[in-house]
Amino acid sequence: MSINAAIFGCFGPELTRGEAAFFRDCNPWAFILFGRNIETPDQVRKLCADLRNSVGRDALIFVDQEGGRVQRLNPPHWRKAPFAGLFGDLYKLDKAAAKRATWLNFRLIAEELHEVGITADCAPVLDLPVWGSDPIISDRAFSYQSDEMIDIAHACMAGLTAGGIVPVIKHLPGHGRAKVDSHKALPVITESLEELSKTDFIPFKAFKEAPMAMTAHVVINAVDPSAPITISKLAMTKVIRGELGYDGLVMSDDLDMKALKGDLTNLTQRALHAGCDVVLQCSGKLPAMVNVAKGLSPLSGESLRRAQLADLMSNPYETFNPVSALEEYESLIALMDKTDE
């Protein structure tokens, strides 16, 4: 049976019979979890197993576990990870310590995800924040400087992959200067392509070999003023596959965000036609997923190749001692406290 080019969520902490039947019939490529799906380690472990059983294969299961404001697995069962900007602050004091602390932090995150059956993390954020922009990115970014961002992000991705977790860079080709949050409205980027190439695009160019990337629901006027990146074939071809040289799997950001207008079936068709390899729909509401399914196509060609490579990246796993890793991590973070004394 063909695998369809979608990533779906489910509505609650348990998979319902209706959801299981839909997933069996639709056969989406992967799944994503949110706070509404997460209660305890045993419960998450069972939910991941049930999701995979519904499609009869070892499908990737995604989560947004950046740390800080964006963390779906939380205390008391999981460690509260810091916001990304903390590592940028440490980097200014001690580059080596910052990179090691970043690796340890994301290796610890990877261990927690691996233990419950989650295999992909929608991190790191590579959007470069700009002063005066909407705060939706702000401290979710490692730095406001591209060279610092790239250095720290390498450590983040290495920590995740060492624990068998596939990273997803986001949000192609940059959401950092948006004046509005794309969850609420459609941002329009008015800077020239030349200016963006010297700023926003730089971190994404540095990670053009990353296995997966998520789009930004933004309009770039200099490329295609008529449509956001996610549903613009011109922007996808000229910027993401062209200017950035990105050849990994491109997944849309959530189709339910208010930056996109139109019904879900049409948006699904437009995103896939534009060049997204898979679409992401996050609400977990069955009627919405059915509408997405009506617009889906099977994974094939280059999209299938990219999806298969992403699947393979969840297999490597290096054992390590989380207790000693946490102790080392905390000692490195403590360097910041010492500078304040």
- Residues forming the active site: 183, 253
**8 A C-beta contact, residue 229 and residue 170:** no
Identity (one letter) of the amino acid at 275?
G
* Phi and psi at residue 178, to the nearest 5°: -65, 140
Q: How far apart (Å, rounded) are the C-alpha atoms in residues 307 and 305?
A: 5
- Which residue in 142, 141, 270, 130 sits closest to 187, CA to CA? 130
Q: Which of helix, strand or coil describes residue 258?
A: coil
Q: How far apart (Å, rounded) are the C-alpha atoms in residues 209 and 71?
A: 25
With b for 16 or more beta-carbon neighbours within 10 A and e for fewer, the 5-19 pattern comes to: bbbbbbbeeebeeeb
For residue 178, what are its two tokens? 């948006």
**8 A C-beta contact, residue 66 and residue 123:** yes
**8 A C-beta contact, residue 26 and residue 296:** yes
